[in-house]
Amino acid sequence: TRRIAVTGSASGIGKALVEVLRAQGDTVIGVDREDADVRADLSTEDGRARAVAGIGAGPLDGVVACAGVSAPDPVTVSVNHFGVVRLLEGLRPVLAAAPNPRAAVVGSIAGTQPVDQAVVDACLRDDEPAALELARAAVANGTGNRLYPSSKSALAQWLRRAAVTEEWAGAGIPLNAVAPGVVLSPMVAPLVADEEMKAVMDRAVPMPLNGYAQPAVIATALSWLISTGNTHMTGQVIYVDGGADATLRGPGV
Ligand code: NAI
């Protein structure tokens, strides 16, 4: 049986993924702030170290980073970018010790929306204190709503670079992202229940194929990315978004 670590395991997409993986016989180590096998706050260096230690020193067959927040607050950058990157880097040695290791993260269609470029640049320089200071400035000047797109854009750009390096591709570890459109998880369900908010979201994220997704849909895509069947897909951001990316970006590839 494969040992797979899933962050954000207590809710939404992460919780659905735990169910998919356990149903197929995998041993899952759930990581979340509460209600998880390993309780850790991934917004802090301490929490990330606790997560890596709690997952353990034995070979790890897969990791999927689902934990995320969408608040117009600096913590969004801490969790969605640094919480993912530092955890994956911390787990790389135990992944490399497994026979068929795989890694995946959850991006977002929001990563294609307007960003705070200074925040993205600080993320890509791996400078968390600078990114947080810039994020606080963004909140103060009223552009805090750009922090979520910024965190997901930075994560996608980090992934495309890291995936093809000696550390990941060279160690035989595929590293990919699923980027959802709107998913009816506890993060978003309350928003679409509000008519006005729903109209704003439908303009920002048009989903001509089957509308909003259930968390299990995203979990199924993630489960394939980390399966042994995926030997050659890496560095990809896969939009599982009901056609939102194709609608917004048009035919250019
Ligand atoms: P959710 O709110 O249902 O689940 C997120 C989980 O992450 C929660 O269990 C939460 O406790 C955990 N988490 C948050 N901060 C944490 C921290 N500091 N340390 C440890 N765990 C923490 O949300 P959902 O929708 O399942 O989100 C999962 C991922 O999907 C996130 O990365 C989110 O950005 C992404 N996403 C969600 C979309 C949606 O429409 N729901 C759309 C696109 C992306």
Candidate from 13, 29, 214 with most ligand 1 atoms within 8 A of CB, to mutate? 13
For the segment 206-210, the average pLDDT, to the nearest whole number, is 98
- Does residue 197 sit within a domain? no
CATH number of the domain that residue 139 is part of:
3.40.50.720
Q: Is the CB of 11 under 6 A from ligand 1?
A: yes
Nearest-angstrom CA–CA distance, 173 and 246 = 28
Q: Is the CB of 246 under 6 A from ligand 1?
A: no
Q: Is the CB of 185 under 6 A from ligand 1?
A: yes
- Does residue 143 sit within a domain? yes
Q: Is 112's pLDDT higher than 80?
A: yes
Nearest-angstrom CA–CA distance, 6 and 26 = 12
pLDDT of residue 106: 98
Residue 187 CA to ligand 1 center (angstroms) comes to 7
- Does residue 30 sit within a domain? yes
- Does residue 234 sit within a domain? yes
User: What number does the ligand 1 atom closest to the CA of 7 have?
Assistant: 21
Tell me the three state secondary structure of residue 236: coil
> Do the Cβ atoms of 5 and 64 come closer than 8 Å?
yes
Q: What is the band of 253 on the pLDDT scale with cuts at 50, 70, 90? A: confident
Q: What is the mean pLDDT of the chain?
A: 97
Q: What is the band of 252 on the pLDDT scale with cuts at 50, 70, 90? A: confident
pLDDT of residue 137: 98
ipTM of the complex: 0.99
* Segment among 86-90, 169-173, 243-247, 248-252 with least mean pLDDT: 248-252
pLDDT of residue 54: 98
Q: Is the CB of 66 under 6 A from ligand 1?
A: yes
- Does residue 249 sit within a domain? no
Candidate from 64, 106, 152 with most ligand 1 atoms within 8 A of CB, to mutate? 106
- Name the residue range of residue 222's domain: 3-181+211-239
Q: Is the CB of 21 under 6 A from ligand 1?
A: no
Nearest to 83 by CA among 52, 57, 121, 120: 52
- Does residue 46 sit within a domain? yes
Residue 80 CA to ligand 1 center (angstroms) comes to 9
Q: Is the CB of 108 under 6 A from ligand 1?
A: yes
Q: What is the band of 38 on the pLDDT scale with cuts at 50, 70, 90? A: very high
pLDDT of residue 190: 87
Q: Is 94's pLDDT higher than 90?
A: yes
Nearest-angstrom CA–CA distance, 104 and 176 = 5
- Does residue 76 sit within a domain? yes
Question: Residue 102 has which token pair?
Answer: 């795989």
Nearest-angstrom CA–CA distance, 248 and 246 = 6
Q: Is the CB of 32 under 6 A from ligand 1?
A: yes
- Does residue 199 sit within a domain? no
Residue 12 CA to ligand 1 center (angstroms) comes to 7
State the total domains in the chain.
1
